[in-house]
Structure 1
Amino acid sequence: MKKTIIYSILAGVMLTATSCNQEYLNPSAASETQATTDINGLITLCNGLQYRYTTTRAGIIYNAITASGLTTRELTVLNAGNGDEEQLRIGGSNVASNNGILRNLWAQNQLVKANADLILKSVGTVAGDAGTKSGITVYASLFRALALGTQAQFWQQLPVETGTNAKFVSREEALKEAIKTLETAATTLAATPVSATFTSRIAPGIDLANTIQALIARFSIMVGDNAKALAAANKVDLTKKSSFNFDDATQNPMFFNTFGNRNVTEPLNATLGLPEALRPVATDKRLAFYLSNPSGVAAGGINLGRASFFTANTAGIPVYLPGEMMLIKAEASARLNDLPAATAALNSVLTKTTDAWGIGAALPAYSGANTADAILTEIYRQRSIELYLSGLRLEDSRRFNRLAPVTGNAASQIERNRTFYPYPLIEKDNNRANTPDDPAI
């Protein structure tokens, strides 16, 4: 077993910070003093951030991809005995506050954020070289931002501060806080490069400099800061990969729970769950990348799985994709009314035959109407294909004003069956005074 994975497992056991209420405490874990007064403990906690974010069926990656996928028809449920997944597939008012997927998604994001806050509060007080402390700061900042940004994609409001009975802020404020955290991390990284000591002891795979800019671009486009999104996306080196890595001890959660175990969910159909007007054409090479049987549109019972990031327990999952950055450039340019730049960025996705992750559409250039609305519709379509099962489609569906669900009639909707989720019962029970009312649908 790799040394870095040992750190990950230890950290997954040791994490012990308060989140927005006492439910998130782990009384059997090490104390804050044990974990945060030594630079080695902080590195271990940093590895624990990734362990909690990425691994197991309780982790954030599984629950974010599954929730978004079921709500937006990327996925369907194979076994109705998986009741929490089935609630999300049906959607509407059937999604309850005690849904286990939503509980895990909420609680794990809160814990990642709280532990990142603990690391950031402690790093300045421990002994160690500047480069190692820089690495700890940047790494914890990245996961703090990921936790805030991920949670903000599913709920209208959320706590940003760590503490008992924390106040809620709007999702827009949470996204701006994530961006601010990332910008501070970028400044730290530029001023003090990460040491070899930190690099050798942290779980490998994440390209810190490029990931910071990619996430600034992602969260800026979500909050409507198109100029900032465009500037950040332009700073990302698209030839570099940044990934969450796994091995046989810390397995890829989507393969272990979904694609390697045909009992929970799988792709709804061979057109990626998209309505007829947005479906990929048969010659799109991305279908073969994401599906094991891309021609089996009506072949009921045939496993359509094998999404190429979820093919084995050891398969890495991208933190972001080159195509996401290209499409952020296209979207930001279109919303800034620079249609030539938007079309050029869109064409860079349509016509590419491969990229750092082996994804290529190999399609003709865009030939639709030269209007912002038409180009934005095509950008949404390409995001839905290029970023299939990335956990981003629910956010995209709202931002692009796709067909919204109707209270009491969600089953008739063809693109998403909810707009935001109800607040988990775990939060209502422990932070009742501050938890907002649930959205209708």
Structure 2
Amino acid sequence: MKKIVVLLAALLVTISGCNKEYLNPSTASDVQVLTNSDGLITVCNGMQARYTTGAALSPLYNIVAAGGLTTRELTVINVGNIEEYNVSLGAGNVTNLNGVVRNLWTQLHLVRANADLVLANAGNAADPGTRSGIVAYASVFRALAIGTLTQFFEQLPITTQVNAPFVSRTVALQSAVAQLEVAAAQLAQTPVSADFNSKIIGGINLPNTVQALIARYSLLAGDYDKALAAAGRVDLASRSVFSFDDLARNPVFEVAFGNRNVFEPTDVNLGLTGALTPEPGDRRIPFYTRANPTATQNRGTGFYTASSAPIPVYVPGEMLLIRAEAYARKGDLANAVTELNKVRTSTAAATTTSVGNATFPTAPPGAGLGPYAGPLTAEAVLLDILRNRYVELAFQGFRLDDSRRFNRPGPGAAGTERNRNFFPYPRTERENNPATPLDPDN
């Protein structure tokens, strides 16, 4: 990962509250930084740094923790990690003072706010290809911030202003997709310049990532036709990853999977039981878990095995499962099973990339299972799609949203599979923004 110093204090966007502005004469102002291509690219690099690094402060870490601990995918090893432990308990144990909740909210809103600043000033990039790259990059991180917030919160602001109004998850997702579509059109008209590629942190294929996120967030918004089309435009042979090294470290490895002190996978079945239990021989299970960890060796593996291990922005199997789910929800079960079987029957090896002298995976291996043989009913096909999402996308933070979307048993129901539906809004937001809604019941 390129080493950059981003003075985010110079670009700090106040989400709500204080009207005073304190200027540091030794730093550049946001007006100065955003007036040229190099400044805009520096802020883009800063967005990725904020989203991916910072150990337990990192959104990436908290996405994995929040998604896994609320659904029994992960279990806390040491209850002294009280923030994570309370998330694993769920219900009223998760308060608006919880650190996991607070970090998700504040850090993702800072990413979104800085992306909006870049987009508002992208016209200051004189070269069209560099401007195209800047718009696409900021659109990707704006979408990741908004889309991730919708997975954990019932409502959210998508603008930066005093007393910012909250909007529904659907409106927020539609906003993210609309900006991604603007970026896709600009990329198609003007490919990214060599200058932009030489200065941005490497690893993200912008045209494919834009389409992958359109597919992901269109599915969550219930726009199945748009999800189908966008997922079909993703080159499944390409890879997009967040890059790390020994200084800018993979946050999940650094905090959790590199030791047996915080959390690890619940078991080799990823905490899944009953009809959702992974099938025998599924080649993805030994990729994501160790069957017999030692006293110091975490059960979790996958994309979190070293400080420099890259983390995929998306994996190809997600696109196939998006198409399978979209077809199933449209009532086209034959095509749903066709897409599902591309995931089930694949025997491809895990794809890898080299970082220094080490080799790391960028996508899991094919499941190596037989084709779907269950009933051709929407209920049965969707259940198998969900089971494959849970395995294919293990430890990537999707499981809470998936559990809600597939109407699995929630808090208070018999056989509950999640301990909350949504998180409460952090106290920092409530104290500074009177527009903050009431917290959800669970």
TM-score, length-normalised on structure 1? 0.93
Matches for 1:415-430 after TM superposition, within 5 Å: 415-430=417-432
Distance 2:400 2:239 in 1: 25
Structure 1 residue 16 corresponds to structure 2 residue 12? yes
Structure 1 residue 371 corresponds to structure 2 residue 377? yes
Answer whether contact 1:16 1:31 (CA < 8 A) is retained: no
1:6 to 3, 6, 17: 3
In structure 2, the partner of 1:89 is 88
In structure 2, the partner of 1:39 is 37
Look up the SS of the partner of 2:167 in the other structure.
strand
In structure 1, the partner of 2:354 is none
Distance 2:334 2:409 in 1: 27
Cα deviation, residue 38, structure 1: 2.5
2:395 to 389, 394, 405: 389
Cα deviation, residue 302, structure 1: 7.9
Aligned AA (1:52): R
Q: 1:80 to 1:22 in 2, by over 3 A?
A: farther
Structure 1 residue 404 corresponds to structure 2 residue 406? no
Cα deviation, residue 127, structure 1: 5.0
Aligned AA (1:350): R
Aligned AA (1:403): P
Answer whether contact 1:270 1:304 (CA < 8 A) is retained: no
Q: Pick which of 300-309 and 280-289 moved more.
A: 300-309
User: Which segments of 5 or more consecutive residues in structure 1 lack a partner in the other structure?
Assistant: none
In structure 1, the partner of 2:234 is 236
Distance 2:261 2:152 in 1: 25
Cα deviation, residue 397, structure 1: 0.4
Task: Tell me the number of residue pairs that the alignment of Structure 1 and Structure 2 aligns.
Answer: 427
Answer whether contact 2:325 2:385 (CA < 8 A) is retained: yes
Answer whether contact 1:275 1:414 (CA < 8 A) is retained: no
Answer whether contact 2:47 2:111 (CA < 8 A) is retained: yes
1:313 to 283, 304, 307: 307
Distance 1:17 1:306 in 2: 36
Look up the SS of the partner of 1:266 in the other structure.
strand
Q: Deviations over 1:280-332 (max 9, x none)?
A: 12311111100122xx5xx8968552422001000110001111001011100
Distance 1:27 1:400 in 2: 49
In structure 2, the partner of 1:436 is 437
Cα deviation, residue 128, structure 1: 2.4
Answer whether contact 2:364 2:392 (CA < 8 A) is retained: no
In structure 1, the partner of 2:357 is none
Q: Deviations over 1:104-157 (max 9, x none)?
A: 100011100110111111121x25211111111111111111111111111110
Aligned AA (2:400): L
Answer whether contact 2:259 2:298 (CA < 8 A) is retained: no
Q: 1:20 to 1:199 in 2, by over 3 A?
A: farther
Distance 2:22 2:404 in 1: 36
Q: Deviations over 1:51-107 (max 9, x none)?
A: 011112211110111011100111111111111101100001111100011101000
Look up the SS of the partner of 1:76 in the other structure.
strand
Cα deviation, residue 32, structure 1: 1.1
User: Which segments of 5 or more consecutive residues in structure 2 lack a partner in the other structure?
Assistant: 352-362
1:351 to 323, 341, 345: 345
Aligned AA (1:10): V
In structure 2, the partner of 1:107 is 106
Distance 1:145 1:348 in 2: 27
Distance 2:197 2:7 in 1: 17
In structure 1, the partner of 2:330 is 336
Answer whether contact 1:17 1:118 (CA < 8 A) is retained: no
Q: 1:21 to 1:269 in 2, by over 3 A?
A: farther
Q: 1:22 to 1:117 in 2, by over 3 A?
A: farther
Answer whether contact 1:68 1:394 (CA < 8 A) is retained: yes
Answer whether contact 1:346 1:379 (CA < 8 A) is retained: yes
Look up the SS of the partner of 1:153 in the other structure.
helix
Matches for 1:214-253 after TM superposition, within 5 Å: 214-253=212-251
Aligned AA (2:337): T
Distance 1:72 1:26 in 2: 43
1:283 to 271, 281, 284: 281
Distance 2:146 2:199 in 1: 25
Q: 1:307 to 1:300 in 2, by over 3 A?
A: closer
Q: 1:270 to 1:372 in 2, by over 3 A?
A: same
In structure 2, the partner of 1:74 is 73
Look up the SS of the partner of 1:152 in the other structure.
helix
Cα deviation, residue 39, structure 1: 1.9
